[in-house]
Amino acid sequence: MSKDEREAFLRLPHVGVIGIEDSGRGPLTVPIWFDYTDDGHIRVLMHPESKKAVLIDAAGRFSLCSQSEQLPYQYVMVEGPVVDRQPCDVEAHARPMAHRYLGQKMGDDYVGSGQDSSSVVYSMKPERWYSVDYGK
């Protein structure tokens, strides 16, 4: 994929799979919601005491792969360092993320349940990109 194609792909609401180094084991790999920001960063939200957050804090970086499950298959994988970690602001981070994946009504219900009220936001600047569009 070209740079513009892969960035457009990451702006779509595909669920990602985050990969984080877990010393002495294989990496932790779990599904996660993410956002590709206008400044070219991958942003993810999680509880600060979760296994994901603890491992990201230790490693200082993560990978994320997002794919299309319909033919023709496509995927984009990015990897890089965490460049920012901050408390989650519900209106700036959690609500837009919930809207991205659930739509406005269900997203508002999700945010209203307090799911992300104590989350942190990690921003990663991609250093490595791998992408494929099997439709080409």
Condensed to tens digits (0 to 9), the pLDDT of residues 75-97 reads 999 999 999 999 999 999 999 99
Q: What percent of the chain has pLDDT over 70?
A: 99
Domains of the chain (ranges; CATH) run 3-133 (2.30.110.10)
Q: What percent of the chain has pLDDT over 90?
A: 93
Predicted TM-score of the model (pTM):
0.94
pLDDT band at 64 (very low <50, low <70, confident <90, very high): very high
Is residue 115 pLDDT above 80, yes or no? Answer: no
Inter-residue contact 107 to 99 (CB < 8 Å): yes
In the structure encoding, which two tokens stand for residue 40, read together?
């070219």
Position 121 scores a pLDDT of: 97
Is residue 61 pLDDT above 90, yes or no? Answer: yes
Q: How many CB atoms lie within 10 A of CB 75?
A: 19
Reduced to 3 states (helix: H, G, I; strand: E, B; else coil), residue 31 is strand
pLDDT band at 114 (very low <50, low <70, confident <90, very high): confident
Q: How many CB atoms lie within 10 A of CB 98?
A: 24
Position 118 scores a pLDDT of: 86
Is residue 10 pLDDT above 90, yes or no? Answer: yes
Is residue 43 pLDDT above 80, yes or no? Answer: yes
pLDDT band at 112 (very low <50, low <70, confident <90, very high): confident
Position 86 scores a pLDDT of: 97
**CA-based nearest residue to 90, from 102, 78, 99:** 99
